[in-house]
Amino acid sequence: RVSYADLPSSWRACTSLDAVILDAESELPDERQMEMLARYTAAGGTLIVLGEEGAQALAARSPLAGCFEARHERASAGRLTL
């Protein structure tokens, strides 16, 4: 588990990961971190967001708003939102 403060500044540092999982229930990444995550997903990385309210807040905020296009499926199982 890594805090948002410990996220790398470059999306390239995440390319060895199968996915980045955000726990958006309690807090959200800052603008710099969201930009890095948007670049990571644009390069083909997988972003999983936990927490429906947090996912909605991220979907409404730029630059991650483009990661939540209609073509992406949303699945809910209790508190889990993808």
31-79 pLDDT per residue, tens? 899 899 989 988 888 888 888 787 787 777 667 777 766 555 555 444 4
Can you read off the two tokens belonging to residue 28?
A: 């959200």
Question: Residue 5: its pLDDT value, please?
Answer: 85
| pTM of the entire predicted model | 0.74
CB-based contact 54:25 (threshold 8 Å): yes
Q: Give the Å distances, CA to CA, from 68 to 3, 22, 38.
A: 22, 14, 10
HSE, CB side, 13 Å, CA atoms: give it for residue 42. Answer: 12
